[in-house]
C-alpha cells in the first residue's frame, strides 16, 4: 500500500514531468512554426515591437553602412518617406547620408532612437529630422523607449543570431496578424507599393485619403530640446525641417494658419543652440498634386523637397536668418 508521502512524491514527479513536456512541446511548436513560415516566405520581420513598419527597419539597419555615414536622417515617416539621399549627396559637399527613420514615431521616440544610433555612427556631423504636427501628438514618457535597446544593439552588431528576437520577443498576435496580411489577396496598400532606396528612404507612390487632426502635446517640446542635446553631445548639428502645408488639410485643420504658426514658434523656442536649424517648409512653392497625404509627398516629388532642404543646409549657418536669441536659426 502506498503511503501518503510516496503518493505526494509520485504526484510531484508526474506534475514535473508533464510540466517539462508541455514546455518542450511549446518550444518545439513555436520554433517549428517559425521555420515553416520562413520556408513558406510568410515569416514577418523580427518582433522588436508590435508594429510591422518599425520592425522591418531593424534588419535593414543590421546590414546598413552606418559606420561611415556623416549625416543621419531619423524620425517618423515624415522623414522616412520624404527624403532623397542621392540629392543630399549631390547638393551637400562630403555628405554621406543614411535614412534610419521608421514609422509612427513621436518626437520623444525619435530622441530615443537617435541616442541609440549615434554611438554606432561616429562620423555623423548632421542629424536631419523632418517633422509634421503628428510627431508632437503624444509624448508620454512611458512610451519613449519603444524597443529593447540591449537586444537591438546585440542584433545590429551581429553578436546574437538573427532568430533570437523571434523567441525572446514572441508576439503571437503580431505573428498571426502579419501572416494573415501576407495571405490576403487585398489590393496592395500605398505602403506596400512604396519606392525604397538603398540608403533607407521609402517614398509613397500612391495617394491616400487621410487628414489627421491637429493635436499637440506640449510636453513634446521638451523632447525636442532633449533631441537637440543628444545631437550636441555627439558633436553634431541638428536640422529640423517641416513640410509644405496641404491645402485640403489647412482648410480642415488650420484655415487661418495659426495652428502651424504657433507650432513653429514653439519648436523655435525649444531649440536653444545657435547652430541648430529649423527649416520652414511653408516657404516652398508646392504643387498640391505632389502630396500623397498631408505628411508625405509622392515619388518623385521628394527630390524637389530634398533640394529645398539641402540648399538651405548648404548655406553657412551664420548667414541663416536668426529669429530671437538664443533660439535656433530659422530658414524661411
Q: Over the stretch 123-155, which tens digit does the pLDDT of each residue have?
A: 999 999 999 999 999 999 999 999 999 999 999
Residues linked to residue 313 through DSSP beta bridges, in sequence order:
none
pLDDT of residue 14: 61
- Of residues 211 and 179, which shows the higher confidence score? 211
**Phi, psi (rounded to 5 degrees) for 72:** -110, 120
Give the span between the Cα atoms of 323 and 271, in whole angstroms: 11
Task: State the CB neighbour count (10 A cutoff) for residue 205.
Answer: 12
**Phi, psi (rounded to 5 degrees) for 32:** -60, -40
pLDDT of residue 264: 98
The count of structural domains within the chain is 1
Residue 40 corresponds to which cell in the numbers above? Answer: 513558406
Residue 89 corresponds to which cell in the numbers above? Answer: 549627396
Per-residue pLDDT tens digits for 224-258: 999 999 999 999 999 999 999 999 999 999 999 99
Helix (H) or strand (E) run with residue 257 in it: none
Range of the structural domain that residue 81 is part of: 62-148+190-331
Closest by alpha carbon to 203, among 114, 79, 45, 294?
A: 79
77 in any annotated domain = yes
Give the span between the Cα atoms of 15 and 11, in whole angstroms: 6
In this predicted structure, the answer to whether residue 326 has a pLDDT above a threshold of 50 is: no
272 in any annotated domain = yes
- Assign residue 72 the CATH number of its domain: 3.40.50.1110
181 in any annotated domain = no
pLDDT of residue 177: 74
17 in any annotated domain = no
Mean pLDDT of the region 91-120: 98
307 in any annotated domain = yes
Per-residue pLDDT tens digits for 10-48: 555 565 565 554 544 445 445 554 455 445 455 678 899
Helix (H) or strand (E) run with residue 202 in it: strand 202-203
In this predicted structure, the answer to whether residue 297 has a pLDDT above a threshold of 60 is: yes
Residues linked to residue 84 through DSSP beta bridges, in sequence order:
none
C-beta of residue 78 within 8 angstroms of C-beta of residue 295: yes
The whole-model pTM stands at: 0.86
In this predicted structure, the answer to whether residue 200 has a pLDDT above a threshold of 60 is: yes
38 in any annotated domain = no
Closest by alpha carbon to 111, among 230, 266, 4, 219?
A: 230
68 in any annotated domain = yes
57 in any annotated domain = no
Closest by alpha carbon to 124, among 156, 94, 86?
A: 94
Question: Taking all residues of the chain, what is their mean pLDDT, rounded to a whole number?
Answer: 86
Amino acid at each position: 500500500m502506498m503511503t501518503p508521502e510516496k503518493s505526494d512524491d509520485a504526484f510531484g514527479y508526474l506534475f514535473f514531468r508533464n510540466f517539462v513536456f508541455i514546455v518542450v512541446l511549446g518550444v518545439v511548436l513555436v520554433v517549428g512554426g517559425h521555420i515553416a513560415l520562413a520556408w513558406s516566405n510568410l515569416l514577418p520581420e523580427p518582433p522588436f515591437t508590435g508594429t510591422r513598419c518599425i520592425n522591418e527597419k531593424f534588419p535593414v539597419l543590421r546590414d546598413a553602412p552606418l559606420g561611415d555615414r556623416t549625416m543621419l536622417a531619423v524620425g517618423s515617416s515624415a522623414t522616412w518617406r520624404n527624403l532623397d539621399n542621392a540629392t543630399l549627396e549631390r547638393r551637400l559637399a562630403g555628405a554621406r547620408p543614411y535614412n534610419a527613420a521608421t514609422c509612427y514615431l513621436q518626437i520623444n521616440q525619435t530622441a530615443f532612437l537617435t541616442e541609440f544610433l549615434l554611438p554606432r555612427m561616429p562620423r555623423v556631423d548632421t542629424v536631419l529630422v523632418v517633422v509634421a504636427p503628428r510627431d508632437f501628438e503624444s509624448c508620454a514618457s512611458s512610451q519613449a523607449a519603444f524597443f529593447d535597446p540591449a537586444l537591438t544593439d546585440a542584433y545590429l552588431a551581429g553578436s546574437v543570431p538573427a532568430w533570437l528576437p523571434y523567441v525572446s520577443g514572441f508576439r503571437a498576435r503580431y505573428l498571426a496578424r502579419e501572416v494573415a496580411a501576407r495571405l490576403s489577396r487585398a489590393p496592395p496598400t500605398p505602403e506596400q507599393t512604396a519606392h525604397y532606396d538603398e540608403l533607407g528612404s521609402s517614398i509613397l507612390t500612391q495617394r491616400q485619403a487621410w487628414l489627421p487632426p491637429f493635436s499637440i502635446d506640449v510636453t513634446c517640446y521638451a523632447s525636442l530640446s532633449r533631441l537637440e542635446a543628444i545631437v550636441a553631445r555627439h558633436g553634431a548639428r541638428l536640422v529640423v525641417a517641416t513640410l509644405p502645408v496641404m491645402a485640403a488639410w489647412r482648410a480642415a485643420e488650420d484655415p487661418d494658419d495659426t495652428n502651424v504658426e504657433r507650432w513653429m514658434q514653439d519648436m523655435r523656442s525649444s531649440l536653444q543652440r545657435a547652430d541648430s536649424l529649423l527649416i520652414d517648409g511653408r516657404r516652398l512653392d508646392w504643387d498640391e498634386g505632389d502630396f500623397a497625404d498631408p505628411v508625405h509627398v509622392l515619388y518623385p516629388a521628394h527630390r524637389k523637397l530634398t533640394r529645398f532642404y539641402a540648399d538651405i543646409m548648404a548655406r553657412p549657418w551664420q548667414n541663416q536668418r536668426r529669429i530671437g536669441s538664443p533660439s535656433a536659426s530659422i530658414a524661411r
